[in-house]
């Protein structure tokens, strides 16, 4: 029996980041457990297109595997090919992002939801969904929604508080920098300032630090200081009122 989970919350609170990091972790674990598994594809990652139809979702799976699928292929042929390759490649995790895109109030949106359910029944892997405020999209209401809600656990995301987790997140981002003159610990000492600039939103924090890092490379300073961060315009989200806690 496999457990499934949903990742829901406001925009820029780390849903996609968490989803991709989970995928990377599962990939590393699989390679360590199976050192001769170079041909395996343990993790699938797809993004649900806006106004997705069942065939569009099936095509997203096919594109991930780079399957030679003709646009004239019907959804049954595509689904069979995807499920067959998934089994042969020992897929253990299927990450589905932007789950809020299908409009379940329409027939196409409801059928797209059914298609994801079909894949979860055919592919012997754990499914993880991520989307914005899924409770408000209608995805979890009605007969179809009850089936989804009954199979998944909910992990809610939200802004970070100004605490040790926030400081640890900054430290992890700082450790990933490849700036030749940057002094380790410079950003963690600015944790309060960074929280004020970003409202604790991981998406806004990534925007701020990445922008400063790009500027540091372009101007040759190869380091990030508070002055450099001050020079970066905040993203739209961090300029908006603080999002409600979830």
What confidence score (pLDDT) does residue 234 get? 72
What confidence score (pLDDT) does residue 154 get? 75
Q: Which residues of 161-193 are buried (b: 16+ CB within 10 A; e: fewer)?
A: eeeeebbebbeebbeebeeeebeeeebbebbee
Query: How long, in residues, is the chain?
Result: 246
Positions in the chain whose pLDDT score sits under 70: 1-13, 135-150, 235-246
From the CB of residue 34, how many other CB atoms can be counted at a distance below 10 Å? 12
What is the Cα–Cα distance from 101 to 49, expressed in whole angstroms? 6
What confidence score (pLDDT) does residue 40 get? 96
What confidence score (pLDDT) does residue 141 get? 60
Enclosing H/E stretch for 9: strand 4-9
What is the Cα–Cα distance from 8 to 5, expressed in whole angstroms? 10
Q: What is the pLDDT of residues 13-36, one digit of tens each?
A: 678 888 898 999 999 999 999 999
What confidence score (pLDDT) does residue 246 get? 42
Q: In what order do the strands lie in the sheet with 126-132?
A: 43-47, 93-97, 126-132, 4-9, 152-156
DSSP state of 201: -
Predicted TM-score (pTM) of this structure: 0.73
What confidence score (pLDDT) does residue 1 get? 41
């Amino acid at each position: 029996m496999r457990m499934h989970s949903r990742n829901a919350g406001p925009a820029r609170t780390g849903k996609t980041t968490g989803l991709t990091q989970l995928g990377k972790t599962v990939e590393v674990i699989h390679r360590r457990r199976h050192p001769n598994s170079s041909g395996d594809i343990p993790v699938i990652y797809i993004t649900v297109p806006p106004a997705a139809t069942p065939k569009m979702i099936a095509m997203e799976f096919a594109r991930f595997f780079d399957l030679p699928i003709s646009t004239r292929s019907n959804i049954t042929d595509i689904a069979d090919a995807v499920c067959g390759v998934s089994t042969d490649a020992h897929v253990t995790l299927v990450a589905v992002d932007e789950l809020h895109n299908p409009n379940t109030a329409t027939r196409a949106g409801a059928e797209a939801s059914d298609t994801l359910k079909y894949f979860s029944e055919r592919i012997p892997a754990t499914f993880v969904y991520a989307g914005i405020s899924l409770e408000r999209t209608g995805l979890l209401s009605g007969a179809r929604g009850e089936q989804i809600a009954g199979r998944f656990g909910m992990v809610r995301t939200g802004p970070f508080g100004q605490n040790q987790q926030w400081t640890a997140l900054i430290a992890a981002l700082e450790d990933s920098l490849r700036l030749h003159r940057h002094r380790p610990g410079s950003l963690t000492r600015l944790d309060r300032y960074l929280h004020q600039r970003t409202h604790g939103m991981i998406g806004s924090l990534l925007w701020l630090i990445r922008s400063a890092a790009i500027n540091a490379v372009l101007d040759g300073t190869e380091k990030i200081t508070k002055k450099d961060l001050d020079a970066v315009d905040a993203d739209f989200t961090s300029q908006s009122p603080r999002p409600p806690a979830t």
